[in-house]
Structure 1
Amino acid sequence: MARPFKQQRDTTRKAPQAAPVEVDADGVALPQHTQRLHKLLALAGLGSRRDMEELIANGRVTINGQTAQVGAGVTAHDMVRVDGRPLRLPFEAELPQVLIYHKPEGEIVSQDDPEGRATVFDKLPRIKQGKWIAIGRLDINTSGLLIFTNSGELANRFMHPRYEVEREYAVRVFGELTEEQMAMLTQGIELEDGPASFDRIIAQGGEGANHWYQVIIREGRNREVRRLFEAFQLPVSRLMRVRFGPVNLPPRVKRGSMLKLEQKQVVELLEWAGLPVPKAPLKQLTQREKDKATTVFVPKVRKQRGSVLNRVPRELDAEGSARPNTTRSGAAREGAKFGSKESSDRTSNGRDNAARKPSAKKPVNRRIRQSTDLAPTKRQTKKTS
């Protein structure tokens, strides 16, 4: 009987390297299959790792009913809650979602605005896992490229100052820079919050008093581009971001439009950022899903923000403190606010005297007027006399 072939042992093959061991804040090795809590929270899309450390330090995260500590480790069997709500942690990295939005002027990049202005977060589609994070900010008067993702680590890789990711803008100013001023802007000038400079500035021409410039900067300080031009008494009349790192604003994405990056493009972003790419194979999309994924769409507002004029006015009580007005209707409150005579006539006695639809209530039984109730006429007085 022939003996089976004995495979020669490959002596040149290296032994597989062990996976890195997670350690806690004190440097003690965590048990196997345990991962850092703040890392998993960032992967879940709740924010960057630094933000998650602050979240844990504030006592807003619990593990199995106990307040979590910074540097704590968790396993797949632990129950983690954030602000009392259970959270499913992604122990296996999932492919994040990335959206490109051409922000128009007049919208703010904030999730909460006391003035009730239009915000970009009102237009974002709903997401099952985590939340949308805006990569970088644009002020209300700035338009252009805005990136959203549900990966806190990817957002941190774009925005953290130590990575110095390039931001490219198209700027229109009222006036024109001299060659000496352009050289000063690349060398650096002193602003209120420290020195600042452009990596590159290129004149793009213009008509009349307006001139366009292409600038590249590696910082994201508040209104930095505008302040650099205003240092030479050149006000910026239009500012548009056209590139952020490796992501360019596609020409087909017009103002107010949005585009979702394909899976392969997201993988390329993760590789550029040096982040781990999920080992799971990419999801197989149908032809309809592929067409939808590459289609530019105009997002719809998910919720209407009430304007200042539609807010319920408040009255003052005897002590001068505000109290909600609950005795009058909305039309009466609007009329009282603007002092309209028409509204005051409509709302007298607390009801609207305008034409209404017939109500379904039963008619009230009323006493029929008798002839004795009427005042005697002149003819009746003559007969009686």
Structure 2
Amino acid sequence: MPPASMSGARCDVAMVAGEASGDMLAAQLLAGLRQRWPDWQAAGIGGPHMQAQGFDAWWPSDKLAVRGYVEVLRHYREIVGIRRQLRDRLLAAPPRVFVGVDAPDFNLSLEGDLRAAGVATVHFVAPAVWAWRPERIEVIRRHVDHVLCIFPFEPALFQRHGIAATYVGHPLAPLIPRHPDQAAARAALDLPADGPVVAVLPGSRRAEIAHVLPRFLAAVQRMRQARPELAFVLPAVPALQAEIERHVRQAALSDVVRVLQGQSHAALAACDVTLIASGTATLEAALFKRPMVIAYHMNWLSWKLHQRKMLQPWVGLPNILAQEFVVPELLQDAATPAALAEATLAWLADDDATAQRVQSLQQRFAALHDTLNRPTAQLATDAIAQVLG
């Protein structure tokens, strides 16, 4: 059954954000919508950042925070049930506009049903058809009125296929200072002012904690043995903090790894290098101008299926945007604790070549920051107003 809060609730703009990063992106858009249309009510599926903007979350976004084919199959019935209930609710009382935030496997189908019923549909964060699953372009053309793109090269690609699209910049870019204050971040987290700090970011999904975190913690053990002076911080999504702390205890690292409640931006500002799971967080690390090692591990069948649909040799957003391996990627079988530790420690080597490598990377990330820094909320609401006529 739908949550009780759904009954009779007015909804001008319906939104679905499927995980922690989508919740943050959607919150920025909601702020712009509230400024432009103060009396509008927003509801659907979202997380705490959206709720802080007055969003009525009929379901929490972490219900959809599942990655990988096998993992999706395990939650398939629940996810399909949520989508069906949400669709029926929105068809019974149509909103002015529906905005699907990322989560294309969930949102594109829902957008198709709503558009067929006359509801304006907008997709925020274009599916990466340039990287994998290019067959989605036809689905987008049929199901979506307008795509809000967060990377500058995307609108031309969609427009070639007859899909209206607007580059709105990346909502995270204005939130992250161009020159992060490392000293202030360390003081706020009670970290040593001097000495190397490693931020460990294993992801925000339960499956990532199961597959990625144990490898990261094993790498931490190796790094600690090689460099006893290293400090480690691990920002945890609040819903998964207890599970993450259990893994840390089992690895006998409770005295070594500081588990933080959220505070991923503070951790990235404070660190010298981050060992990080592939996803939106890698772009955040780039915006903080931090060297990184990108890694990922998933169920072997999900990995095999994923490989078949990849169009580019990179999976990390910094490398995709640079179109080269500016930072290391260690995926699946290559993501061994020894390899992860070695690649992370390489960024901390005390020599001129490493210092030049870090400086060059920071310059590239600063240029990327400038490209992505746009008035996203204003540009997005302008596009939505255009869709609404």
TM more than 0.5: no
Query: Which structure's relative contact order is higher, taking Cα pairs within 8 Å and 6+ residues apart?
Result: 2
Give the number of the structure whose residues are more often helix, by fraction.
2
Between structure 1 and structure 2, the one with the greater Rg is: 1
Give the number of the structure whose residues are more often strand, by fraction.
1
Q: TM-score range by the shorter chain?
A: under 0.3
